Amino acid sequence: MEQRFPLIGERFPELEVKTTHGVKKLPDDYRGKWFILFSHPADFTPVCTTEFVAFQRRYEKFREMNTELIGLSIDQVFSHIKWVEWIREKLNVEIQFPIIADDTGAVANRLGLIHPGKGTNTVRAVFIVDPEGIIRAILYYPQEIGRNMDEILRMIDAFQVSDKNGVAIPANWPENELIGNEVIIPPAADVKTAEERPKQYECFDWWFCHKSLE
């Protein structure tokens, strides 16, 4: 059977990975929690260092949202350990989340993280996985552009609000240009519901209704 890369809506592949915090089994070791697996091109590189510091600065916010972080690159464990030590000693930041040491490239190849034009380097990818082990979002970035961690925090918040309330989330939420911090009611599936919607909610039209979560 041909192996292909995982897609949004599918279960995260079962993988046993070697990390700076010991061996972990994905996604089972994170059952009941959201987790973000993010890959970086290499240790001891400037953009990646800024990203790890940025993730760590927000780590408590992620954990408050029942979300764990796990990094990955095609480097050996000792390289990860020395890099984390360097960040602590030079930048006074303690990296508290695990980093996968994918020195064989097996994990990166399974997840589609190898940059085609950069040899064995991994792209900047982000997998957002829910408490049931289902992939909810996949983001890819080029090597030269660092990620926006606040957007990743916003996505976790948005997923949790959407799942809990059965609603959709507008652009730039919670500061949307049309409806502010309100959320969107899913489109009506029949004529009767469409006719009732404007009586129940604030609407621009029957197919675009919104409400406050307060």
Cα 167 to Cα 5, 70, 182, 205, 206: the distances in Å are: 29, 29, 10, 17, 15
Q: Which residue in 17, 36, 48, 87 is the catalytic one? A: 48
C-beta of residue 136 within 8 angstroms of C-beta of residue 159 = yes
Report the C-alpha gap between 161 and 138 in whole angstroms. Answer: 19
C-beta of residue 102 within 8 angstroms of C-beta of residue 74 = yes
Token pair, residue 151, equals: 């957007």
Concerning whether 48 is annotated as a catalytic residue, the answer is yes
Place of tokens 């990743």: 152
Radius of gyration of the chain (CA): 20
Residue positions annotated with a catalytic role: 48
